[in-house]
Amino acid sequence: MLDWTSYIGKVFTGDCMTLMAAMPDGCVDAVITDASFPSRADVGGGPGRFAGWMCVMPRITNLALVKWSVPGLVEIAGAVPVGWKWRHTLVWHKPMTHGRIWASSLYPHWEPVVILGINGKRNGARNASDFLSCVPCMKGMAEDVGHPTQMPERVARWLIEDWTQPSDLILDPFLGSGTLAVVAERLGRRWIGCEISPEYAEMATKRILRAREQLALPIEPQPAPGIFKHPTLDLDTEGVPG
């Protein structure tokens, strides 16, 4: 039998169904995830796969935050009969994608995050915000590590901070490049991540180790608060009029 506890703070390389099957009832405080779209068979998606995942999750947690595509909302609605209650819908607005036409239809410049809970069980947020505007992770950005559908760290921070407490255990069954794990560690949450592709699992592990090294570094001394000096204006040589 798989010892799931040995994967706390580590990446499980394999199918999330295998990991979740080994987890006992209610062992996870929240699932926060970004599943592969049904259209992305290249990264493990495919029609109908979502339904299988959603049937397993209510056994191990009371709370799931699922970031998915706008067309995927229909499949999320299909998860309600298996025990989930659709509690809230959050909007991640992606400013720089506005108006793109893709596959002859208007490409949505937002993605939904659906908050699913279990009837009769209270869990979740106080002071949560249901809207975040944040550019998607694109090639050449400092945080880009080369995953084709990498979630920005700011989106992960928004979800983790609003919906979990320090030391909570979070599961991301579709870890990809490890964004959820990296941000969870910085925010003092425990996590388990699962990734089916060995290539992405290795990418995530390296990224998490780098983040741990950075966390261990002493914080750079900040300049003492004082007069603001404009980077392009040297007040000593150019002087101040008057």
Ligand X SMILES: C[S@@+](CC[C@H](N)C(=O)[O-])C[C@H]1O[C@@H](n2cnc3c(N)ncnc32)[C@H](O)[C@@H]1O
What is the nearest approach in angstroms of ligand X to the Cβ of residue 206?
13
Could you write out the DSSP letters of every residue in 6-62? GGTTSEEES-HHHHHHTSPTT-BSEEEEEPPPTT-GGGT--TTHHHHHHHHHHHHBS
What is the nearest approach in angstroms of ligand X to the Cβ of residue 33?
7
What is the nearest approach in angstroms of ligand X to the Cβ of residue 239?
49
Residues in the chain: 242
The residue ranges that bind ligand X (CB under 6 A) are 15-16, 34, 36, 43-44, 147, 149-151, 173-174, 176-177, 179, 194-197, 200
141 vs 235, beta carbon nearer ligand X:
141
What is the nearest approach in angstroms of ligand X to the Cβ of residue 198?
10
22 vs 85, beta carbon nearer ligand X:
22
What is the nearest approach in angstroms of ligand X to the Cβ of residue 35?
6
Q: Residue with structure tokens 């893709």?
A: 102
46 vs 95, beta carbon nearer ligand X:
46
- Say if CB 168 and CB 29 are below 8 A apart: yes
Q: Helix 153-163 and helix 179-186: axis angle, to 10°?
A: 50
What is the nearest approach in angstroms of ligand X to the Cβ of residue 111?
11
CA dihedral of residues 205, 211, 215, 218 (deg, nearest 10): 130
Could you write out the DSSP letters of every residue in 87-105? EEEEEEE-GGGTT-EETTE
163 vs 174, beta carbon nearer ligand X:
174
85 vs 154, beta carbon nearer ligand X:
154
Which amino acid, residue 199?
E
CA dist list (Å): 101 to 34, 51, 95, 106, 142: 23, 29, 15, 5, 27
16 vs 28, beta carbon nearer ligand X:
16
The residue among 199, 166, 194, 198 whose CA lies nearest residue 180 is 194
